[in-house]
Amino acid sequence: MTATTATPGDLSVWDRVRGYSPSSRHLPVLATLALFVGMFGAGGIRYEGFADPQVVLTLFVDNAFLIVLAVGMTFVILTGGIDLSVGSVVALSTMIAASTLEAGWPPAAAMAAVLLAGTALGTLMGLVIHYFDIQPFIATLAGMFLARGLCYLISVDSIPIRDDTFFAIAAHQFTLPGGYFITPTVLVALAAVALAAYVLHRTRFGRTVYAIGGSESSAMLMGLRVARTKVGVYAISGFCAALAGLLFSLYTLSGYSLHALGMELDAIAAVVIGGTLLTGGRGLVVGSMLGVLVLGTIQTFISFDGTLSSWWTKIVIGSLVLVFVVIQRVMTRRQP
C-alpha cells in the first residue's frame, strides 16, 4: 500500500480528514461570542459601570496568563489529547522564576530557564505518549505530580519576587485613547493568540494537528508527520504553560507551590466553551480566548453583585461546559 502525501493547499483532502466544512467550523465560535456579548450586555443593564470599556480591558489584564494557557491547551485538544500538567507547570514556573531571581540570576536568564523547563517537560510527555502509546490522561497526570513535586522540592514557602525588572514590567501600563489602559501581559497574550492562529491555519504543522484530531490513522496513511506533530503539540503546551507561569508571576510577584491549583481545569473549560471538540479535529484558538473571557465575565458578575458566593463561578462554569459538550455532541451526530 502506498501512502498519499497531501499538501497544505489540497483543501478538499484536509477538510475530509478534519471532518467539517469551512463554514461550520465558525459556528461554535460565533455561539461563544454571542454568549460573551449577551452576558456583558446583561451585566451592563443590571450593574452600573459594568459596560465601561475598561471592564473589558480588565478581563484581558486579569486573565492574560489563562489566555496563554488556553492557547497551548487548544493545540493538545485539537489532536484529541489532554494535558493535565499545565497548572502544575505554571506553579513550577513561578517557583523557578522566584528562586533564580532570589539567587541573583539576571531576569533574562531566569525567564529563559522557566521557558526551557516547561518546554522540556512538555516534550518529555509528548514522547512518552506517542512512542510508548500511553494515554495522554495518564502521562500528563504523572507530569502534573512531577511538576508539583518539584515545586515543593524548591521550597514549601512562598518566595517573593523583588527584582526591579519584574517590578517595572508588572507596574507598566499602556495608556489608550479615552484614559483606558492595558498591561504588557495583555500584549503577550494577544501575540500568543495571533501566532497560534497563524500556525494552525497557515502552516503544514497546523493542518497536521487538525488532521490527527480528525483521524490519526488517516493522517498516517496520507504520509503526514504524525509523530513529530504529536510531540510538538505537547512541547507547545509546555512552553505556553511556562509562559503563562511567567505572566502569573508578574501578576502576583511571587512564586508559590500552591499557585494555579485547578488552573488546568479552567483552561480545559475555556477551550471547550470556545468551541473546540474534546475528541479533536475541530476548533479555533480565537474561540479559546473568548472562552477565557466568558469565564472572566462570570467572575466579574459576582464581583459587581457583591452578595453571591465565589462558588457560583464554579457552578456556572460547570453548567456551561456541560451545555457546550452536549451541543457539540448533537452537532457532530448531524455531520455526514
Q: In terms of Cα–Cα distance, which of 174, 85, 170, 74 is closest to 126?
A: 85
Please count the residues of the chain.
Answer: 336
65 found inside a domain: yes
The pTM of the full predicted model, rounded to 2 decimals, is 0.91
Lookup: cell for 297? 465575565
79 found inside a domain: yes
CB burial readout 103-112, b (16+ within 10 A) else e: eebebeebbe
Q: Specify the number of domains making up the chain.
A: 1
Phi, psi torsion values for 158, nearest 5 degrees? -70, 140
35 found inside a domain: yes
pLDDT tens by residue, 7-64 = 444 433 444 444 445 556 788 899 999 999 999 899 999 998 898 999 999 999 999 9
pLDDT tens by residue, 53-66 = 999 999 999 999 99
Whether 56 and 112 have beta carbons less than 8 Å apart is answered as no
320 found inside a domain: yes
CATH number of the domain enclosing 76: 1.10.3470
2 found inside a domain: no
6 found inside a domain: no
Structural domain that includes position 322: 11-334
124 found inside a domain: yes
1 found inside a domain: no
pLDDT tens by residue, 103-115 = 999 999 999 999 9
